[in-house]
C-alpha cells in the first residue's frame, strides 16, 4: 500500500497524476512513482522519498508531456525496504506493461518461484513485481484477460491499476480488500484509492466492490466481476468539496482538524436528536424499537483510535441501556472464532470504512448471522456498503494521519446509540431529554477547550524533552488515557503508554522516576479521589504529573505539578473535551520537537492490509 492514482482521457496525464499523488501524501508513504503510456511506449519514473523529489526529477523530462494515459503510486513499505527499486510502478516482463498495487499478495513466494522458473528476472523485493510478471505471463491478447487470469492465481488483497503498451489509452483496475474509486469526468476517468485525489476534477464516482475488474478508456467504463461477468455499480456523489481537504491557513492538517471539531460534531448530531421525545434518530441502523429491545448484546469491533472510541461506547451502552456490551480488537475477531448470536448487534467502527482487520470482522459477523452495523466517516466505503446499515459521521474529510475529529464524532454517535438503546428499554422520557441536552452541549464544551490553545502550548514546553510518558484514567476517562497516549506516540515519537490508574501498582510504577512524567485524568466524578491518590504515588517516585482537571476544582489543581482545565460536564460527555485537550498537548509537543506532524514516520492513514 498506500496510494494509487491513474488517468485515461484526452489531456496531459502527468499533472493529473502528480496532483493526485500530492493529495494522497497525507496517507503516509516512503517513495513514489509514475508510468505513462505514450503511443505504445511505457515510461516509468520513480524515486525514494517525497513526491516533491519525484517532481524535481521530472521537471527536466519534457518527453512525458504528451501522454494521455498513466498510473502513479505512493508506497508505504511492506515487502522490502523503502528504496527506489522497490517503489511502484513495476514493469512486467520486458516492459510491455506496468502495474501499481495496494495490498498484500500472500502467496507471492510460491508465485515468485514459478515465475523465476519461467525465466523472469526480479529487480525488487516486492510482492507487486510478482503480480506484474504474473500478468505478463498470461498476456497473450487483451490486458483485461491477462489480469483476470493472474488474479485467479492470487491469494490476498489488492487494489491495482495496470496498462499495456499494446493498448494505448486503456487501463485495467481491480480490487479485493483495498479501495478503488473511479472518478467520472468529461471524456476522461480518474482512478484513485481515495476520493481526495479525484475531487478536484469530478464529484461523480463509482466505488468498486471486491473482485470487481474495470476496463477503462477515456470515459468508457466497463465493470465485471472476477467470476460472474458484467456487473453494474451505482454512481455516487462525493459530498464534500476540494476546499474541505485544504489546510485553511493552519500550519498542519492536524491542528485544522482539531479546531474543526465543534462544527464536525454539530454535523454529526444534526437532525439526529429529538428533544421532544428525548431520543436519538438513527434511521441508518434500520432497527425497530422491538428489535432494539430484543438485543442481547452489542459487540463493538475496531482498531486503534476506533477501538478506544468503542470502549466509551461500551461503558455508555451498559450504563444507560443496561445492555451487555463488549469491545473486541477487530484483528483478533475472526481468528479466535468468537461466540456471536443472531440477537447480537456487531458495530464496526472505522474512519475510512476500509480498515482491513475491521472489514474481516464484519464479514465474520455476517457469516455467523449477527446484525451488523457500520460506524464510518467515508460515504461509499466498503464497510458501509457491506453492512447495509449504520451511521455516517459526517465529520468531513480527515487528512491528518493522527485521527482527531473522527474520534470525537465516533464517541458522539456512540452516545446517541446508547440513548436510543436506553429509550427502547427503561430510560424515561425526562431522563432521555436530559441526555439529549448533555449531548447537544458537547460542541460548546470543545470550544471552551480550544480557547485554551495558547495556554496548552505553554504547558507543552515543559514536556518536550521527555522520552517516555504514562497516561492514567478511570471509568470513562480510561479510554481517554489510551487515546491520549496513542496521539503522543503517533506524532511526537515519545514512548507513551495509557493505563487504567489502578494498574500502576501492578507493574508499571517500577518505571517511574523524574524522567517519566504522568498525565492524569483527574476530572470531577466517580474515581477522582482514587486517581489523586495515584497522583501522589507517582510524585513520591519523583514523576512530574500533569492533570486534566474540571474548572474550579482547586483540590485537584493543588495536588498537581501542572494542569489543563476542562469545563464541567457529566462523565460520559467529559470524554470529548478531555480528549481534545490531550490532542492539543500532543500537537504542541510534536510541533516544538520539529516532528513531521502531517506525515508521521512509518504510519499510514488507512490500514488496508492485515
Q: Are strands 545-550 and 297-302 parallel, antiparallel or unpaired?
A: unpaired
Query: Which SS3 state, helix, strand or coil, does residue 200 take?
Result: coil
246 is catalytic: no
Rg (CA), the chain: 25
The label of the residue with cell 520537537 reads: 593
Q: How far apart are the first and last CA of the chain?
A: 11
Distance CA 72, CA 142 (A): 22
Q: How many alpha carbons fall within 13 Å on the CB side of residue 357?
A: 18
Residue 32, SS3 per DSSP? strand
How does strand 545-550 pair with strand 518-521?
Answer: parallel
Helix (H) or strand (E) holding 591: helix 571-593
What is the DSSP annotation of 465-509? T-SEEEEEE-TTHHHHHHHHHHHHHHHH--EEEEEEGGGGGGTGG
From the candidates 2, 409, 522, 595, which is the catalytic residue? 2
Q: Grid coordinates representing 287? A: 432497527
Look at the block and give the residue holding cell 485537584.
556
Distance of alpha carbon 530 from alpha carbon 67, whole angstroms:
67
Adjacent-strand bridge partners of 71? 6, 35
3-state secondary structure of 288: coil
The full DSSP string for 65-130 is SS--EEEEEEE--SSS-S-TTTSSPEEETTTTEEEEEES-BTTHHHHHHHHHHTT----SS-HHHH
Cα distance between residue 219 and residue 217, in whole Å = 6
Distance separating alpha carbons of residues 62 and 60, to the nearest angstrom:
6
Residue 92 Cα to chain centre, angstroms: 32
**Strand residues in 180-280 grouped as ranges (E):** 181-185, 188-192, 204-207, 212-217, 220-225, 229-230, 235-237, 273-274, 279-280
Residues 6 or more apart whose CB falls under 8 angstroms from that of 356 comprise: 157, 177, 178, 607, 608, 609, 610
Of 23, 50, 489, 605, catalytic: 605
Residue of 453, 461, 404, 469 whose CA lies nearest to 593: 461
Q: Count Cβ atoms within 10 A of the Cβ of residue 227 and give its class: 0-12 exposed, 13-18 middle, 19 or more buried.
A: exposed
Element (H, E) at 366: helix 356-367
522 is catalytic: no
Question: Which positions are annotated as active-site residues?
Answer: 2, 605
Amino acid at each position: 500500500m498506500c496510494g494509487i492514482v491513474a488517468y485515461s482521457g484526452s489531456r496531459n496525464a502527468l499533472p493529473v497524476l502528480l496532483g493526485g499523488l500530492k493529495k494522497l501524501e497525507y496517507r503516509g508513504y516512503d517513495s513514489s512513482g509514475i508510468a505513462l503510456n505514450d503511443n505504445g511506449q511505457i515510461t516509468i519514473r520513480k524515486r525514494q522519498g517525497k513526491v516533491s523529489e519525484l517532481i524535481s526529477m521530472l521537471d527536466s523530462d519534457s518527453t512525458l508531456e504528451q501522454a494521455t494515459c498513466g498510473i502513479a503510486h505512493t508506497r508505504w513499505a511492506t515487502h522490502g525496504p523503502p528504496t527506489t527499486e522497490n517503489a511502484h510502478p513495476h514493469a512486467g516482463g520486458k516492459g510491455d506493461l506496468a502495474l501499481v498495487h495496494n495490498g498484500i499478495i500472500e502467496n507471492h513466494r510460491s508465485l515468485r518461484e514459478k515465475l523465476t522458473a519461467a525465466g523472469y528476472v526480479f529487480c525488487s523485493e516486492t510482492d507487486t513485481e510478482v503480480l506484474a510478471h504474473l500478468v505478463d505471463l498470461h498476456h497473450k491478447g487483451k490486458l483485461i484477460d491477462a489480469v483476470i487470469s493472474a488474479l485467479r492465481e492470487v491469494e490476498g488483497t489488492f487494489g491495482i491499476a495496470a496498462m499495456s503498451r499494446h493498448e494505448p489509452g486503456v487501463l485495467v483496475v481491480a480490487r479485493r480488500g483495498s479501495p478503488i474509486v473511479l472518478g467520472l469526468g468529461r471524456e476522461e476517468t480518474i482512478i484513485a484509492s481515495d476520493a481526495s485525489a479525484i475531487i478536484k476534477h469530478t464529484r461523480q464516482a463509482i466505488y468498486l466492490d471486491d473482485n470487481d475488474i474495470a476496463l477503462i478508456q477515456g470515459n468508457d467504463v466497463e465493470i465485471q466481476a472476477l467470476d460472474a461477468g458484467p456487473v453494474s455499480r451505482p454512481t455516487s456523489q462525493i459530498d464534500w468539496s476540494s476546499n474541505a481537504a485544504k489546510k485553511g491557513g493552519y500550519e498542519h492538517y492536524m491542528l485544522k482538524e482539531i479546531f474543526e471539531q465543534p462544527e464536525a460534531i454539530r454535523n454529526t448530531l444534526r437532525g439526529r436528536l429529538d428533544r421532544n421525545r428525548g431520543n436519538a434518530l438513527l434511521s441508518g441502523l434500520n432497527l425497530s424499537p422491538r428489535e432494539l429491545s430484543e438485543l442481547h448484546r452489542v459487540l463493538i469491533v475496531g482498531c486503534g483510535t476506533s477501538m478506544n472510541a468503542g470502549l466509551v461506547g461500551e461503558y455508555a451502552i451498559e450504563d444507560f441501556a443496561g445492555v451487555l456490551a463488549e469491545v473486541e480488537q477487530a484483528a483478533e475477531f475472526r481468528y479466535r472464532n468468537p461466540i456471536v448470536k443472531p440477537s447480537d448487534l456487531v458495530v464496526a467502527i472505522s474512519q475510512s470504512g476500509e480498515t482491513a482487520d475491521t472489514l474481516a470482522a464484519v464479514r465474520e459477523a455476517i457469516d455467523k448471522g449477527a446484525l451488523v452495523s457500520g460506524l464510518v466517516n467515508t460515504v461509499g466505503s466498503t464497510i458501509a456498503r457491506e453492512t447495509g446499515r449504520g451511521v455516517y459521521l459526517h465529520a468531513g474529510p480527515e487528512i491528518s494521519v493522527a485521527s482527531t475529529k473522527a474520534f470525537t464524532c465516533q464517541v458522539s454517535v456512540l452516545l446517541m446509540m446508547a440513548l436510543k438503546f436506553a429509550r427502547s428499554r427503561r430510560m424515561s422520557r425526562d431522563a432521555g431529554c436530559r441526555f439529549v441536552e448533555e449531548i447537544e452541549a458537547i460542541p460548546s464544551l470543545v470550544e471552551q477547550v480550544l480557547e485554551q490553545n495558547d495556554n496548552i502550548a505553554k504547558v507543552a514546553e515543559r514536556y518536550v524533552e521527555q522520552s517516555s510518558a504514562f497516561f492514567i484514567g478511570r471509568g470513562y476517562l480510561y479510554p481517554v488515557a489510551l487515546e491520549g497516549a496513542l496521539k503522543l506516540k503517533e506524532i511526537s515519537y515519545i514512548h507513551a503508554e495509557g493505563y487504567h490508574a489502578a494498574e500502576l501498582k501492578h507493574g508499571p510504577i517500577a518505571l517511574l522516576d523524574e524522567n517519566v512524567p504522568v498525565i492524569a485524568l483527574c476530572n470531577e466524578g466517580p474515581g477522582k479521589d482514587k486517581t489523586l491518590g495515584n497522583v501522589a504515588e507517582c510524585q513520591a517516585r519523583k514523576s512530574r504529573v500533569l492533570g486534566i482537571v474540571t474548572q474550579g476544582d482547586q483540590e485537584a489543581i493543588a495536588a498537581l505539578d501542572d494542569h489543563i482545565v476542562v469545563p464541567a460536564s457529566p462523565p460520559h460527555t467529559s470524554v470529548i473535551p478531555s480528549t481534545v485537550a490531550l490532542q492539543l498537548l500532543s500537537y504542541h509537543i510534536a510541533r516544538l520537537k520539529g516532528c513531521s506532524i502531517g506525515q508521521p514516520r512509518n504510519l499510514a492513514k488507512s490500514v488496508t492490509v492485515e
